[in-house]
Structure 1
Amino acid sequence: MNFKLVPVACLGILTGTTGTAQAGTVTVATAAELQSAVATANNLGGNTKIVVRDGTYTLNDTLYVNVPNVAIVGQSSDRTKVIIQGDAMSSTAKVGNVIRVAASNFQLSNVTLQKSRWHLIQIAGETNADGLIIKNCILRDAYQQLLKVSYDPTNPSATSNNGLVENCIFEYSASVGPQYYIGGIDAHGAKDWVVRNNTFQNIISPNNTVAEFAVHFWDPPSSNHIVERNLILNCDRGIGFGMDGHGNMGGIIRNNMIYHASNKGFYADTSIALIESPDTQVYNNTIFMENDFPSAIEYRFTSTQNVLIANNLTNKPILSRDGATGTVTRNVTHASDAWFVNVLIGNLHLASAIRSVVDLGLPVSGLRNDFDNESRSQYTGIDIGADEFSSITNLTLPMASYIAD
């Protein structure tokens, strides 16, 4: 492939800073050109923006990003028009990861990733790969977790920090996964990540062993993540902070909508779980579960202390297990499907001004907006749940915009 890297002045686009960096920009149109562009970026030390034209790019090997300040960007803002894929979603596929990132300030936007033996994208926290940004992408159909953040437990000082994942879709297109060992975002030892405005759907085990969470942050020093304004549809498990023996510290889970139908998956767990996750806040989420699991939110084990669970709207109880402690207040746990616009598509906006919900929430520091990023009332009282009720907004909102197209 013959191409020329053209220097352009970037104002924080590749660096994540407000300084100016000299970057090379290259446009590619074939899988061979894409692989060559990544290899060239590695050879030149990074600072490269790779623009990918519309088309399907079937790789014969992983795209290894080993240098900082690399961006892979679909030329169109339509993420369905640029597909970067491995050879198959199976345990014998040749391509392990579609992309593996072992350096800081990598950006991915406006593309679809699909088909891999392991993950669609792996962030190597053990190399201090910080500042990841993934925006406006579709991640679907990996044989294991769709997005993986790894780390080396023997070197916990090396972690992936300050990642951002927003406006993406994570899904299994067959409405069920290929095995139980799947998940959406599975992050080990990461710190200060933000996951917002995404849709996670059909992360379902095909058998009686539960799949992993749609969003899961765990393994010390995992800490201070924000998971907000996400829609989670028919996933075996929703959002998890920590795991037995592999905890998390702090963080916020707020303004998410989670729905699970009665006929989706053979086995399911709770929608939000704090598992050895002290000092965590879970507030203003709306959860409607039609499966058999008995509780909507659980906080587990004695190390889970000083948590706040407030203003959540659910149709199932909130449960403390194995000695977990915290403040649990202003939650409504007896919601009916008639309270919502359309539970079947996960539209858990309030259909009317429910008396036990509207204006009865507890003021929480940092709570300013709702699921739609609309302002919470600061005068008449905030509503319980992810939605701040508005008769105009709630009955006209095109909820299908949150569903995979």
Structure 2
Amino acid sequence: MDTLRLDCFKKMFLLGIIMLSYGVLSACSKKTSLAGSDNQDGQASGKNIYVAVNGSDSNNGTLEAPVSTIQKGLELVNPGYTVFVRGGTYKEKVSFSKSGRKDKVITLKPYQGEKVIISGEGLSVSGNEALVTVNNVNFIVIYGFDICNFKTTSAWVNVDGIVVKGGSTNISIKKNRVFNIENNATAELGRSGHGIHIIGNTEVALTKILVEENEIFDCNTGYSENLTVNGYVDGFEVRKNKVYKGENIGIVAAGGYAANSNPAYNYVRNGIIADNEIFNIDGRTGPIPTYKDHNGAIGIYIDGARNILIERNLVRDCGRGIGIVSETDNFPTQECVVRNNLVYNCSLAGIYLGGYIGYTGGGTNRCYVVNNTIFQNSKDLGYSNEVEGEIRLTENCNDNTIVNNIIYPRSDRSVFINKQVTGGSNNIINSNLYYSNGLSIWRWNNIPYTDFNAWKAAYGGDEVSLFGTDPLFVNIATYDFRLNPTSPAKNTGAVISAAINGTTDMEAKARIVNNLISRGAYQ
């Protein structure tokens, strides 16, 4: 372990910065979870307003005399009110116009045990529109709806299920199902939509945003994403969501897009993306494929954002698994930690770092990729008919650490690490476990090596990684990647710190036990 300790010693200054950042993130996490703290589960607080399909907007909104539209119910609220919506389908666009307070949030939720659908069926879309809009308001909870069937065939409009914008704070979006949000324009360009869209579009940050336990599926988002956090967002949590059967990227935290006119504000910072499940994301679907010949749709995409923690997510059967990359000049992805995730069966790379080749000056700096299990990705060849590999590095990767991962490629691809370009510096790779039941390939500065010792000499390190030893997963056939007690990955990893390695593994067990840590996502 001496080599790894020396490598990590060289980065103590960076580690201090990262630990400080995650101290901020920890505080952010606690604050974010307070959005609607006395009303997270939709319990009534203060006065109630009732909505029913057989009500009338001339009523006063009591249980006996409900109003007929959700919008009217929201117009009747004050801080501390709950709008209870009786079962049925409501074909309307809904917008919050009033704020709650810290001790008196405004909650919108279905009546006890009843299913409520907010539907866009038959509604027009003009410009940028959502079925549910949260704009320049605070202390709001949206809980437990089906939000669906909002569609357009017009190019250059944006269609959203839920949008949060305008400097809103303390917003909780929880246990909703968002589906069939679709831009089906026949033009190849100008197709955009989002299931849930968090956009910091002002010089006041969106902060304390919680998106938790939602399902987003069957959305045609064009060149946009299913769950988007973009622009000036400072402090958010995206937890325990399921995103699947989507046309493009699953979850994104972004910078450098056209969200905010001020470059200093135009990137997401200080967020957590944890315990989500993302699968069957394929850019070759939709009315006009976003990716015609190759599926490049990334499950979790950190693009030009900073200080983002990505942990304990399951990403499978996507275009690429997890990307900490940059597609925009002057907006590198920085100080992010990707840890304790499970990534398998993706079309191209499992985990991807760097700027796009020949396209952008952005890159990936001072990030950690630690304790992930990366299994049999690169099912297909990449855009230049190359094997992208389980971990791929491209333009402008600097000061990144790739440690304690189990890397297990397909036998017909067999690329563990693929640094596809020259350039970049001080990237530490060590203490991983490499196993293949076919060929074994490492590519460094676009030169392939099939011998482990030749790879170590070319890279100039990687002395304590394990090669050629089966990690002994519990059951590959059922994708059970827990470790058997005799696994060579068990308790043989490198402990950096709890701030970097994390405190819990993929199944929420203690990550570091008696100062020992296993390689891969499971302790």
TM-score of the aligned structures, taking structure 1 as reference length: 0.76
Pick one of 271, 274, 279 that aligns with 1:196.
Answer: 274
Match runs of 1:168-317 below 5 Å: 168-172=241-245, 177-178=246-247, 182-188=248-254, 189-206=267-284, 207-219=292-304, 222-244=305-327, 245=329, 246-260=331-345, 268-275=347-354, 276-290=363-377, 291-292=379-380, 293-302=387-396, 304-316=397-409, 317=416
Q: Which residue of 2 aligns with 1:52?
A: 110
Match of 1:324 among 417, 424, 440: 424
Report the AA paired with residue 511 of structure 2.
R
- For 1:97, the equivalent position in structure 2 comes to 160
For residues 157 and 282 of structure 2, the distance between their equivalents in structure 1, rounded to whole angstroms, comes to: 24
1:124-143 map, 5 Å:
124-127=199-202, 128-143=205-220
**What amino acid sits opposite 1:119 in the alignment?**
H
Residue 345 of structure 1: how far off its partner (Å)? 5.1
Q: Is the 2:433–2:471 contact (alpha carbons within 8 Å) kept by the matching residues of 1?
A: no
Change (3 A) 1:45 1:379: closer
Please state whether the residue corresponding to 1:163 is helix, strand or coil.
strand
Q: CA deviation at 1:335?
A: 5.2
CA distance in 1, matches of 2:76, 2:326: 40
Number of residue pairs matched by the alignment: 343
Structure 1 residue 233: deviation in Å? 1.3
1-side partners of 2:211 and 2:432: how far apart?
33
How has the CA–CA distance of structure 1 residues 13 and 87 changed in structure 2, closer, same or farther, with 3 Å as cutoff?
A: closer
Alignment partner for residue 180 of structure 2, among 112, 115, 120? Answer: 115
Contact preservation (8 Å) 2:118, 2:131? no
Match for residue 147 of structure 1? 227
Q: Could you say what secondary structure the match of 1:200 adopts?
A: strand
Deviations 1:42-89, CA, capped at 9 Å, x for gaps? 333344111224233313462111111111012xxxxxxx42213348
Gaps of at least 5 residues in structure 1 are: 1-10, 17-21, 75-81, 152-158, 262-267, 389-405
| 2:147 counterpart letter in structure 1 | I
CA RMSD of aligned residues (A): 3.0
Q: 1:223 to 1:332 in 2, by over 3 A?
A: same
- Stretches of structure 2 that go unaligned for 5 or more consecutive residues are 1-32, 39-44, 54-66, 78-95, 124-129, 184-192, 255-266, 285-291, 355-362, 381-386, 410-415, 438-469
Question: Per the alignment, in what secondary structure is the counterpart of residue 193 of structure 1?
Answer: strand
Q: Distance in 1 between matches of 2:370 and 2:471?
A: 22
Is 1:387 aligned to 2:460, yes or no? no
Distance 1:27 1:211 in 2: 45
1:25, distance to aligned residue in structure 2 (A): 5.5
Decide whether the 8 Å contact of 1:203 with 1:236 is kept in 2.
Answer: yes
TM-score (norm 2): 0.60
1:348 corresponds to: 481
CA pair 135-26 structure 1, distance change in 2 beyond 3 A: farther
Q: Report percent identity of matched pairs.
A: 21
8 A contact 2:399–2:428 mirrored in 1: yes
